[in-house]
Amino acid sequence: MSEGKVRYQEPVPETDIAEFRKVVESRRSVRRFTSEPLPEAVLQDCLDLAMLAPNSSNLQPWSFHVVRTPAVREGIVKACLSQNAASTAQALVAVVARTDTWHANTDLNLEHWPLPVMPAIVENYYRRYAKFHYGEGLFGLKGLFKKTFFSIVGLARPVPRGPYTGAEMRTWAVKSTALAAENFMLAMRAHGYDTCPMEGFDEVRVRRLLKLPRGAIVTMIIGAGRRAPDGVYHPRIRFNRERFIHDV
């Protein structure tokens, strides 16, 4: 750091690994919930904590749809194949990845910068580079150009590789959105409630029920509530850690 230059700093609170471990280890995919209502304050707090998840370029490519209308809920439960995790949940939240909001959100970063002065490098990123980096262009031509350009430049030095296509943008959005979903589920567990992330659903029907726009991907539907005594169907299974963890 150059002498006299003051960088932003914020205090780091003390944390408790034992309590965090308890939250992580006790989080289970709960398949059956009790009829105890889920407090609205808990639901809203967990949604707020979900939106604190890390995400690409702070573009927050997600939306959360709390299912409240009885007819919509009935349709969502059926779209989830009427599984117990959906039918007994006290709250159903559709977690949606968005590939259609990044452009507007680059401008929101400019509008909502939290400090009096925005560093020039940050302003340049959101005004110029981000819009170039994530844009596919008409018929995907910009993406094709970027892929060709960075493939050539990448022969000599490290460069960002994508996203170049619509499919890669979907992957980009889903990655950040999945992090937010995990925040939501851990927050529920910390409040003493439980969740079940469901991927087994009819996305066409869910999209229709939620009236989602193009560029929206239903990443998962999360059922939430108080765990029933028989809500966990079997002990947790995890394979040998050496199968997944590698030193390189």
- Is 126 contained in some domain? yes
pLDDT at 137: 87
Is residue 199 very low, low, confident or very high in pLDDT (cuts 50, 70, 90)? very high
What is the span of the domain harbouring residue 173? 29-232
Q: Is 15 buried (19+), middle (13-18) or exposed (0-12) by CB count in 10 A?
A: exposed
Is residue 93 very low, low, confident or very high in pLDDT (cuts 50, 70, 90)? very high
Give the pair of three-digit tokens for residue 173.
């959005």
Return the CA Rg of the chain.
21
Please state, for a pLDDT cut of 70, what percent of the chain lies above it.
98
Mean pLDDT lowest for which of 6-10, 85-89, 174-178, 219-223? 6-10
Alpha helices in 112-195 (DSSP H): 120-124, 130-134, 141-153, 166-190
Split into its structural domains, the chain has a count of: 1
Q: Which residues have C-beta within 8 Å of that of residue 37, sequence separation ≥ 6?
A: 90
- Is 12 contained in some domain? no
- Is 176 contained in some domain? yes
Token pair 């509008």 in the structure block, residue = 111
- Is 34 contained in some domain? yes
pLDDT at 2: 52
Give the pair of three-digit tokens for residue 157.
């030095």
Q: How far apart are CA 35 and CA 91, in angstroms?
A: 11
Alpha helices in 59-135 (DSSP H): 70-79, 84-87, 102-111, 120-124, 130-134
- Is 56 contained in some domain? yes
In this structure, which amino acid lies at residue 239?
F
Q: Are 170 and 164 in contact (CB under 8 A)?
A: no
Q: Are 221 and 92 in contact (CB under 8 A)?
A: yes
Q: Are 132 and 149 in contact (CB under 8 A)?
A: no
Instruction: For residues 40-61, give the mean pLDDT.
Output: 98
Q: What is the CATH number of the domain that holds 103?
A: 3.40.109.10
pLDDT at 244: 98
- Is 127 contained in some domain? yes
Taking the mean position of all CA atoms in its chain, how far away is CA 230? 29
pLDDT at 36: 98
- Is 239 contained in some domain? no
Q: Is 164 strand, coil or helix?
A: coil
- Is 242 contained in some domain? no
Q: Is the peptide bond before 163 cis (omega within 30 degrees of 0)?
A: yes
Q: In the chain, at which residue ranges do the beta strands (DSSP E only) sit?
A: 62-66, 91-98, 194-198, 216-225
pLDDT at 229: 98
pLDDT at 142: 86
